[in-house]
Amino acid sequence: MYWTLELASKLEDAPWPATKEELIEWCIRTGAPAEVIENLKEIEDEGETYDRIEDLWPDYPTKEDFFFNEDEY
């Protein structure tokens, strides 16, 4: 399993909180890349509910990680 920023960004609009199965179904319905679906299928879970993308990929960058000050523009 590997995540890139581009792949993980496909889950930003997912219906959180969601289970692994719900996320896979949502990805299929919305036409997410096959790599995203494969990554989700590889997750070892026991019926857990995920509240956000960071639960799947803890290193997912946030707005603060980009050092961009929106107030300047």
Q: Range of 53's domain?
A: 16-57
Q: What is the DSSP letter of 10?
A: T
* Per-residue tokens: 3: 């995540």
Per-residue pLDDT, averaged over 29-40, amounts to 95
Global pTM reads 0.79
* 73 vs 16 pLDDT, higher one: 16
In whole angstroms, give the CA distance from residue 65 to residue 50.
Answer: 22
Q: What is the DSSP letter of 44?
A: -
Domain membership of residue 68 (yes or no) is no
Domain membership of residue 50 (yes or no) is yes
Per-residue pLDDT, averaged over 40-50, amounts to 89
The total domain count for the chain is 1
